[in-house]
Structure 1
Amino acid sequence: MIKGRCECGSVRFEVNAVRQTVTVCHCSQCRRTSGHLWASTHAPFDSVKFTSDSGLQWYASSTTAKRGFCKTCGSSLFYRMNDEDGIGIAAGCLEDAGDMAMGKHIFVADKGDYYPVPDDAPVFRQG
């Protein structure tokens, strides 16, 4: 069982398994909500069990997706498309990510001007 949480612990969850690769999104929306980049793995939504969700707040960031964050400490935790059965989980909130590895960088065409194009995984100008 993989455990995850926000900084203050108001949101805690467990998930049986996550995708073993991390996708890093460089789009402007992900940069604004995370403070830099959004690095996430993925799992089926019904496999996520919340053990504490008193701080969990969902924000409709577009007409097609929402973001889950802790309303107490501000941790950016989840990304979920409205019509998808899965959920993006911030890689940094997992307590033991196991053998996860960098998988790809997406929306690099929108990356910030203050850092170079990454070269640690495949790069896609769009999603």
Structure 2
Amino acid sequence: MRLTGGCLCGAVTYASEGPWRPVIACHCSQCRKTTGHYVSATSVPRESLAIMGEPKWFTSSDDARRGFCGTCGSQLFWDGAGANISIMAGTLDGPTGLETKGHIFCADKGDYYEIPGGVRRAEGYDPDLTTRVD
């Protein structure tokens, strides 16, 4: 399934045929600080992602970097170890057919919201719910 997306100003866009991982929400403090809330992201194999434009990259930890638009600041990517790269689900164009299948780092969530039930939840890292393919 070919999906496209990009930043708010259009300076950085992307496209991929997938395969697309279901959306996973991350409630860790880094995701909350970089976006102002929690992150909802899908992922694709790195080699299947075509990026047009030049995202800026911020090394947010020893294990990962985050890609964003240097013009409008839109958060676009989370890139860590493994074969996949995460894509912020809110930056996808149009209907996607993707569904949220889980929440990670629930122990770190903000105290001002509740995590909805009905999908898998992990208090921290969960290798079955993340981008990592080590």
Same fold (TM over 0.5): yes
TM-score between the two structures when normalised by the length of structure 2: 0.87
Note the aligned Cα RMSD (angstroms). 1.3
Secondary structure of the residue that 1:8 maps to in structure 2? coil
| C-alpha contact (below 8 Å) 1:11/1:70 kept by paired residues | yes
Q: Distance in 1 between matches of 2:78 and 2:38?
A: 13
Distance 1:97 1:18 in 2: 16
Displacement over 2 Å in runs of 4+: none
Aligned residues, how many?
124
State the AA in 2 paired with 1:34.
Answer: T
The 5-angstrom pairing of residues 63-74 of structure 1 reads 63-74=62-73
Q: CA deviation at 1:97?
A: 4.6
* d(CA) in 1 for partners of 2:38, 2:97: 21
1:91–1:97: 8 Å Cα contact kept in structure 2?
no
The equivalent residue for 2:53 is 53
Query: Which residue does the alignment assign to 2:121?
Result: 123
Q: 1:20, 1:28 → 2: CA distance? A: 23
- CA deviations 1:35-62 (Å, max 9, x no partner) are 1011000101111112x313x1010000
Alignment of 1:2-17 (within 5 A): 2-17=3-18
- Identity fraction in percent: 40
Say if 1:42 and 1:86, in contact at 8 Å, map to a contact too. Answer: yes
